[in-house]
Structure 1
């Protein structure tokens, strides 16, 4: 098969001023464009709207463009982020929906805000007619199938574009004097940073040679910074770096002895795999998504989500390991990450896309 026409649709895509906004969609799209058997076009919302009027204007044009391209009977349509992008499909028949692939990434399938919930309630009425769905993990796929009555045959698991092993790779050695604990992610509700900071407070009562490195920003950043600055003990042991470009994350992952991933909900949690690709074991919440790759006491240590004491105990367990055991855990983390290499992930994705086209045309 040659020159399969694919229209990629996403309401999140980066701009020069907002380089991190939907960056994973851009990276995925760039990989897809490298395949000469595909003819790629796109319908995108680039960057966030600065106010409600700007957002409404962006979506008005976005929906009109989707309605226009869906008239192409020789194309397959790949939608990222289902709850906001799928509304125009209400106006098309089943034969068009069979040529649609919807990629859910996380909160778009289980939205917290009323608008997302409302849109999902409407669009889920035609889920059974969609050609296929892509989800980041098998755990997430099972939850999706159970909640929406979707056949497992409609679901394809692909781990969010995978890990770039040319970028994320080990370049350091285990440090023995200070234990460097790392966090990379959004400082938002549900990300579990309060669990981490409370658990870390317990740890520094027992261990002086600890340091917590926090990379990221979010709606709760100032609250957490204030909490740390108001505690003399925490202030000496915690450093906030703000948001950092992806190109610098490898150095952080390699500097960490362990990466703590305290989220309360994750569809996969690619940052945990990026840390593992740098040989850094993960201390992570025992939840769906993270548990699909975190194997307790093999490539990291699992703890009860939201339980600061259990997090503290898990870090202590790692500290108590012998050097040989730590090296073995680092090796297992590296081995796990190789299964999620982006080149292998994209090869499977391309094959899947072609199979959906064959099946529904």
Structure 2
């Protein structure tokens, strides 16, 4: 049997073999559990490349962010490649580009499993207004063409059922397994380097509009009055240039340069636990979030977490038990929550203990076993 797996980002040879990131670990486990079958992995990449590892062929199609012609070519190749390679099963991990995959699966009569890892309304926000209705209609057809849809959270499942009229029986909520590298015993030595004399407010994310980082910057204006030695650390694994420039301008306009440290040198996924353990509180002020895996990773390190009361974040955070929920886009609410955590040691202990208990269950999730069951039944 030939199984094709399509994802939004590129397949990196070294990451594929060594990374503890749950996406890579899940696919590795899936291939390992089904070693007698052929796998084809399709990703973006900055240039076209093809290599083979055992029973697995890997293609990066060379799509470049921001280049419309490159994106259209990527979609065209994404449509043709499944038809040419003729897989029996297609697993698509990118909702925004699902339409050509669904068409190809219909032509091939292949089983299609769609994995939805983000809120669909946010993905639709990237589509030009004149095309949005048409695109949403085509996306509805693509969802109905899927044999099974895996939704990252209950909120995404609800969106599929209510906005796209998908049968509840077709939609299954899945969770990635949190890696064992996230634990409360990771060295806290990095704190001495980042901010030895004051609290650290940490965010780990892609620098993109959905993360709502401008609200954290606005909240910082309130927080620096109460905590003069506070440091806001944003550990970014990638960024959208225009949005990044907007944030830097906002920081400069408010004279907050000494309070913010934006780290964009992302060498490996394995370095993130060191930042988590150095933090006094982890904050994710998103305006859209499928789940917010980083929240579960911070919890596994015993760090108190604060997140927006929306999307999948509300599935993970139980207010005043394992974290605090705040209203999205509400600067004062966000500032008050951070003040509460940094000022109250008892609250920090309660949230930390609740977070660790929550993370025990998160480390037991096993998506690769679920995928194996769906593929072969």
* Partner SS, residue 47 of structure 1: coil
Cα deviation, residue 91, structure 1: 5.9
* Superposition pairs of residues 60-99 of structure 1, within 5 angstroms: 60-70=76-86, 75-90=88-103, 93=106, 96=109, 99=111
Give the match for residue 44 of structure 1: 42
Contact 2:119–2:288 under 8 Å retained in 1: no
* Superposition pairs of residues 149-188 of structure 1, within 5 angstroms: 149-159=165-175, 161-167=176-182, 169-172=184-187, 178-188=198-208
Give the match for residue 146 of structure 1: 162
Q: CA-to-partner distance for each residue in 1:276-335, whole Å, 9 max, x for gaps?
A: 11111111111121011111111111111110101111111112323x442232121122
Residue segments in structure 1 that go unaligned for 5+ positions in a row:
none
Cα deviation, residue 27, structure 1: 3.8
Give the match for residue 242 of structure 1: 264
* Superposition pairs of residues 307-318 of structure 1, within 5 angstroms: 307-318=330-341
Q: CA-to-partner distance for each residue in 1:144-184, whole Å, 9 max, x for gaps?
A: 1111111111111112x331123555425798952211111
Contact 2:286–2:308 under 8 Å retained in 1: yes
* Partner SS, residue 213 of structure 1: strand
Deviates more, 1:235-244 or 1:29-38: 29-38
Instruction: Name which of 116, 125, 131 aligns with 1:112.
Output: 125
Cα distance in 2 for residues equivalent to 1:314 and 1:291: 16
Contact 1:11–1:45 under 8 Å retained in 2: yes
- Aligned pairs, how many? 342
Residue segments in structure 2 that go unaligned for 5+ positions in a row:
47-62
Contact 2:119–2:311 under 8 Å retained in 1: no
* Partner SS, residue 184 of structure 1: strand
Q: Residues 243 and 284 (structure 1 numbering): CA distance in 2 closer, same or farther, change over 3 Å?
A: farther
Give the match for residue 4 of structure 2: 7
- 1:207 equivalent to 2:231? Answer no
Contact 2:90–2:105 under 8 Å retained in 1: no
Q: Residues 108 and 68 (structure 1 numbering): CA distance in 2 closer, same or farther, change over 3 Å?
A: farther
Give the match for residue 287 of structure 1: 310
Give the match for residue 31 of structure 1: 29
Q: Residues 104 and 38 (structure 1 numbering): CA distance in 2 closer, same or farther, change over 3 Å?
A: farther
Cα deviation, residue 119, structure 1: 4.1
Cα deviation, residue 90, structure 1: 3.0
* Superposition pairs of residues 181-196 of structure 1, within 5 angstroms: 181-196=201-216
Per the normalisation by structure 2, the TM-score is 0.80
Q: CA-to-partner distance for each residue in 1:15-57, whole Å, 9 max, x for gaps?
A: 47999xxx76444322211214662412413314244444444
Cα distance in 2 for residues equivalent to 1:265 and 1:102: 20
- 1:218 equivalent to 2:240? Answer yes
Cα distance in 2 for residues equivalent to 1:156 and 1:349: 14
Contact 1:45–1:62 under 8 Å retained in 2: no
Contact 1:277–1:334 under 8 Å retained in 2: yes
Cα distance in 2 for residues equivalent to 1:172 and 1:26: 25
Q: Residues 59 and 252 (structure 1 numbering): CA distance in 2 closer, same or farther, change over 3 Å?
A: same
* Partner SS, residue 77 of structure 1: strand
Contact 2:10–2:43 under 8 Å retained in 1: yes
Per the normalisation by structure 1, the TM-score is 0.83
Cα distance in 1 for residues equivalent to 2:289 and 2:41: 27
Cα deviation, residue 140, structure 1: 1.4
